[in-house]
Structure 1
Amino acid sequence: MSKKRICLLFGGKSGEHEVSLQSAKSIYEALDKEKYEVLLVGIDKQGKWRLGNSANYLLNADSGDYTQTKLNTEAMQAIVPVSDNNTTSLISQSNGREMGKVDIVLPAVHGPYGEDGKLQGMLDMLGVPYVFSGTLASALAMNKAKTKLIAKSIGLTVAEDIVLEKDNEYNINNIINKLSLPIVVKPNELGSSVGTTIVNSAQELKAGIKEGFKYDHTLILEQFIKGRELTVPIMGNNSPKALPVIEIIPKVSGWFDYRAKYAVGGSDEICPADIPGDIKSKIQEMSVKIFKAVGCADLARADFIWSKENGELYFLEINTIPGLTKNSLTPKAAKVAGMSFSEFLDKLIKLAEKRYNKKL
């Protein structure tokens, strides 16, 4: 039986570039090479698509230092995807030589230009199957403010928020009066907690807003909810199922920031979470509900806070391409559900293929 040709796409122009490289290395190592021929394609920080031949393409990805992960762009041909006769090939920009056809794309590209619908729209136009959510769901889920509107419309509880645009005026005192301190300041369309701060004073709020605007032209400022951080991966299409609930307990910082997420030992992730059965059932039900409402496909991960003050479950956001590094949450939940990482990736690819075949 011939092997499927998987294009493992990673990197990108966003602030989550290094996270993407780590996800890609973990995925590459776990994909069954008896079933798949893996074509590594990296997008550098300038947006150029580059071709690699082996896992060595990801420099220092196994060093344990996520900040030092690099994409090797030396002596690598830049490529472009071209669609012809219902197949997609990768063509060298320098000499027009065909680098090979692609059966399906597995995008491990996080953040803007990868997880926000732009890449998905391009792949849709080319007619090539890909894993994870489509253009609309990806764009919606990337926009935290829009996703919260959808969540609220289907009965999920969300924290009070204010949306700020970079060129618009705002009043610090009015923000504090509405939300109360502490306040969470987030770039509206970025993940991995890049550019996110928790502020406890007017001065910190000014600094947090200034920092956030380095990463996005729109910020979402949220009422801080003290409680337990819970997250739920959801897998499937027509009848999506919630995987086991995970509780996140940060160790290197007071909340689940970039270091807590990606540094080795940065947090304790308890799966299955030690929570009452009714809370477990409710959060899994809510996760599937938002997955369907946003229109997600194959896999996503929904994040919540279980309030210490009032016992409510507050929906935070849903991630359409959750991190798939060795330290990531979703592979841990899949393992508790009885799937090795390799089996989990097989299932993801099959879900995408089945979904795409229904469109033909």
Structure 2
Amino acid sequence: MKRNIAIVWGGYSSEIIVSEKSMAGVYSFLDKDKYNVYKVKITKESWSVDFEGAILPVNKNDFSFTLPNSESSIPFDFAFIIIHGTPGEDGRLQGYFDMLSTPYSTCGMMASSLTMNKFICNNYLKNFGIKVADSLYLNKETEYETKSIAEKLGFPMFVKPNSGGSSFATTKVKSEDKLQEAINIAFNETKDVIIEKFIAGTEVTCGCYKIKDKATIFPLTEVVTANEFFDYDAKYEGQVEEITPARISDEMTKEIKSLTSKIYDLVGAKGIIRADFIISDNTPYLLEVNTTPGMTKTSFIPQQIAAAGLNITEVLTEIIENEFDVN
């Protein structure tokens, strides 16, 4: 009998539009001969499932739905989480599914919570020799002066939501007179903000997943854009050149793959993650760890899977089936 797979998308932030694109990608990738695949949308207002064009409510008590004009209930056997941001990337949904003993595709609650907080995650990893940019953390209760921030980090610098992704509300700031505005923009997206020192160099990203005793680390992608940085338009509107494999030395490729594998273990990851780096003076600096990477047809992970000579449908099937083998 086919398992019922829920592609869980939506969320509570501006990233819902990216989540919808990733949901469509995952839906196209999953094996429909092996699974019954459903699109489950989660927002603050409702949880719903698209059943043959009808939008039906999801029962949160057991993660199921009832067929129209029937008392028959269909339980979801697995959640493929593709919500970027809260509540799908920060551990909240993971905790819910853990309580229901429903397997899911992403990292667990603790790893998701850790990696969602960029400042805490990067400073945690710094203790293990992972190089990261100098940074400052602000929440809405923090007392700060833009002058002291400028003196500490210098210009240019990045101001961005501490617990967001997809480059929403991220600003590259080149002068103090623009700093407060950038901080305000970031606070409009999340309740806390990270400000990072700018590092010039070559940006690359590396995907990875591990099951049982098998580790798969994908070829690196080099990110080249004429924009100020790899912003939303670069990521999702095609204003970027993505080169896989990256045009860097074999030695640097090997080092970044090793770092990605190390980071995977240090944060206690599960499923597919992506680690983003900037290479400056032949030294890789971690930018961030993404535990719910984009899965549109043109996203990094599908590109890297193809470059590795792998079949994405088989990779996602392997990740799903691994959760049933270990549970």
| Corresponding residue number in structure 1 for 2:59 | 80
Contact 2:56–2:65 under 8 Å retained in 1: no
Cα distance, 1:97 vs structure 2:
4.6
TM-score by length of 1: 0.86
Q: Which residue of 2 aligns with 1:276?
A: 249
What CA distance in whole angstroms lies between the structure 2 residues aligned with 1:224 and 1:47?
A: 38
Which residue matches 1:161? 135
Task: Give the equivalent residue in structure 2 for 1:51.
Answer: 49
**Match of residue 156 from structure 2:** 182
Match runs of 1:140-151 below 5 Å? 140-151=114-125
1:246 aligns with 2:244: no
Contact 1:14 1:113 in 2 (8 A): no
Give the letter aligned to residue 170 of structure 1.
Y
Do residues 11 (structure 1) and 18 (structure 2) align?
Answer: no
Q: Distance in 1 between the 2:124 and 2:31 partners? A: 38
Q: Could you tell me whether the CA contact under 8 Å between 2:168 and 2:232 is conserved in 1? A: yes
Instruction: Give deviations 1:27-61, integer Å, cap 9, x for gaps.
Output: 112212111111221123x341012025xx6xxxx
Give the CA deviation at 1:353. 2.5
> Residue 198 of structure 1 corresponds to which residue in structure 2?
172
Are residue 267 (structure 1) and residue 240 (structure 2) matched? yes
How does 1:23-38 map onto structure 2 within 5 Å?
Answer: 23-38=22-37
Whole-Å Cα distance in 2 between the matches of residues 98 and 204 of structure 1? 58
**What SS does the aligned partner of 1:174 have?**
helix
Query: For 1:287-317, what per-residue CA distance to the aligned partner results, in whole angstroms no more than 9, with x for missing partners?
Result: 111111011102100010001xx32110111
Aligned-residue CA RMSD (Å):
1.9
Q: CA deviation at 1:274?
A: 1.2
In structure 1, the partner of 2:313 is 342
1:133 equivalent to 2:68? Answer no
Q: Please identify, of 100-109 and 222-231, the stretch whose mean Cα deviation from structure 2 is larger.
A: 100-109
Counterpart of 2:261 in structure 1 is 288
Does residue 305 of the first structure (1) align with residue 278 of the second (2)? yes
Aligned residue for 1:342, secondary structure, equals helix
Displacement of 1:165 after TM fit? Answer: 1.1
Write the letter of the residue equivalent to 1:298.
Answer: G
Q: Which amino acid aligns with 1:246?
A: T
Query: 1:66 aligns to what?
Result: none
Q: Give yes or no for contact 1:12–1:113 (8 Å, CA) kept in 2.
A: yes
Secondary structure of the equivalent of 1:106? strand
Q: What amino acid sits opposite 1:200 in the alignment?
A: K
Q: Report which stretch shifted further, 236-245 or 161-170.
A: 236-245
Residues in 2 aligned to 1:347 and 1:176: alpha-carbon distance in whole angstroms: 48
CA contact (8 A) 2:172 2:228 kept: no
Q: In the aligned structure 1, how far is the partner of 2:211 from the partner of 2:288?
A: 19
Given the alignment of the two structures, is residue 316 of structure 1 paired with residue 255 of structure 2, yes or no? no
Deviations 1:178-200 (A, max 9, x none): 10000100101001011111000
SS in 2 for 1:157: coil
Between the two proteins, the alignment pairs up a number of residues equal to: 326
Structure 1 residue 80: Cα displacement: 2.1
> What secondary structure sits across from 1:158 in the alignment?
coil
Identity of aligned residues (%): 37
Letter in 2 for 1:49: W
CA contact (8 A) 2:278 2:284 kept: yes
CA distance in 2, matches of 1:24, 1:135: 21
Task: Say if 1:132 and 1:352, in contact at 8 Å, map to a contact too.
Answer: no
Cα 1:222/1:13, change in 2 over 3 Å: same
Paired residues of 2:40 and 2:50 also in contact (CA < 8 A): yes
Kept in 2, the 8 Å contact 1:151–1:315? The answer is no
Q: 2:115 & 2:45 partners in 1: Cα distance?
A: 22
8 Å contact 1:82–1:91 — kept in the other structure?
no
Query: C-alpha offsets along residues 80-133 of structure 1, whole Å, 9 cap, x if unaligned?
Result: 2333xxxx53358x9995540222111111101111000000000011111111
